[in-house]
A and B are shown apart, each in its own frame.
Chain A
Amino acid sequence: MTRKPPEPVQVIKQRRDSALRALVNGVPYIQFMGIEFDRRGDELTAIMPFSENLIGNPILPALHGGATAGFLEVTAIIELAWQTLWEDMEQGRLDPTSLDPAHLPRLPKTIDFTVDYLRSGLPRDAYARARVNRSGRRYASVHVEAWQDNRSRLFAQATGHFLMPSRDAPRNED
């Protein structure tokens, strides 16, 4: 009996990165905000590079509370969608090369989102990571933390509930 040789690392990386790219690039608002995602294995870190357009208090200056919340919400939604996508991809149920803007997995919908502003957002790049605390068939609860210069000094955090897309419904029929 011969074992199948493992896939070359570059092939795996390429497949995972292109799936993530398709997911993120498909959402206009994420592009508008300039938010990017960094991947280490299945772990995602969201990055929001500083832009003048994100300012809400020009005197300080500080990031707009709405921009910070949008960043946190995007991080939570992409993390949830990514976990589903990752599982489907690793188990061979989904071919990431079939992912184009017209065939994206359906995204979870935000039900409620509570943002806690801990200190003012500086005119610098911001980072965020989401933790899925519970993910059921229908609902999910996600916590997100955002920081700038120091990982241990959060400038905002949020918790929200999300409605998961139904798993048996067809993906985005066209």
Chain B
Amino acid sequence: MTPKVETIAHQFLEALPHAKALSMTLVEISEGGRVVLSMPYDARLVGDPASGVLHGGAVYALLDTASGLASMLHAGSAGSTATLGMRVDYMRPATPGQRITAEAVCYNMTRTVAFVRATATDDDTTRPVATTNATFTNEPRRGARS
């Protein structure tokens, strides 16, 4: 993908306080609205103190951010987006201490709605930690003319 798109994606992540608070970083973007983000293990994000497993909300936030970015980078995007609905399935607890990586694909885009699927894994990439299915709005940037 062109360096320009990568720059936009980096700037997008940098501008999101919640993404920064969770130390999300861009791993890869490719044609057709596919985005890979990752996030380090952080003891402050633990949801089960007995096992040290990350809270589902933190993993969800990574999947949501990757999915939103995927819809914005899709060729049919009008420039801005917001999550309409998202369903997450938690398949297994993420292994404590390991990075979480989320891969999102915007697999269908209409004039008004983006459909995005995403999967999160830890070091064991063969078994997903969580998957999501989401719909996002497809709308022009605020202030821009449609």
User: Footprint of B on A, CB under 8 Å?
Assistant: 26-29, 31-33, 52-60, 62-67, 69-71, 73-74, 77, 101, 104, 106-107, 109-117, 120, 172
**CB neighbors of A among B24-73 (8 A):** 43-50, 54-58, 60-65, 68
Minimum C-beta distance from A150 to chain B (A) = 20
User: Is B88 an interface residue, CB under 8 A from the partner?
Assistant: yes
Q: Do residues B89 and A111 form an inter-chain contact, with CB atoms below 8 A? A: yes
Residues on B lying within 8 angstroms of A by beta carbon are 15-21, 43-50, 54-58, 60-65, 68, 82-90, 93, 141-142
- Report whether B44 and A28 are in contact in the complex, using a CB–CB cutoff of 8 Å: yes
Nearest CB in chain A to that of B87: its residue: A114
Q: Is the CB of A28 within 8 A of B60?
A: no
Give the one of B19, B63, B65, B88 with max A CB within 10 A: B88
Determine if B49 and A28 form an interchain contact, defined as CB atoms under 8 angstroms apart: yes
Q: Say which residue of B64, B82, B90 sits within 8 Å of A66 (CB atoms).
A: B64
CA distance A55 to B16 in the complex (A): 7
List 10 extra interface pairs beyond A56-B18, A59-B142, A70-B58, CB under 8 A. Answer: A29-B44, A55-B16, A60-B142, A74-B55, A107-B48, A112-B90, A113-B60, A114-B85, A115-B83, A115-B86
> Given A117-B84, A120-B82, are A64 and B47 also a contact pair (CB < 8 Å)?
no
Give CA–CA (A27, B52) in the complex, Å. Answer: 10
A59 to B72 alpha-carbon distance, docked (Å): 15
**CB pair A31 B16 closer than 8 Å:** no
B21 partner residues in chain A, CB cutoff 8 A: 53
Contacts of B84 in A (CB 8 A): 116-117
Query: Which chain A residues lie closer than 8 Å to B58 at the CB level?
Result: 29, 66, 70
Residues on the B chain within 8 Å of A32, using CB:
44-45
Q: Given the complex, which residues of B lie within 8 Å of A55, measured CB to CB? A: 16-18
Whether A29 contacts B16 by the Cβ 8 Å rule is no
Contact A58 B44 (CB under 8 A): no
Specify which chain B residues have a CB less than 8 angstroms from the CB of A111 in the assembled complex: 89-90
Residue of A whose beta carbon sits closest to that of B84 = A117
Given contacts A60-B142, A113-B87, contact A28 B46 (CB under 8 A): yes
Measured CA separation A154–B9 after assembly (Å): 31
Nearest chain B CB to A67 CB, angstrom units:
5
> CB distance A54 to B56 under 8 Å?
no
Task: Assess whether B68 is in contact with A65, with CB atoms less than 8 Å apart.
Answer: yes
Report how far A63 CA is from B65 CA in the complex, Å: 12
Q: Which of B16, B50, B56, B61 contacts A113 (CB 8 A)?
A: B56
B22's closest neighbor in chain A, by CB? A66
Chain B hits for A52, CB < 8 A: 17
Query: Would you list 10 pairs from A and B whose C-beta atoms are within 8 A, ordered by A residue?
Result: A27-B46, A27-B49, A29-B47, A53-B20, A59-B141, A63-B18, A65-B82, A66-B63, A69-B61, A70-B57
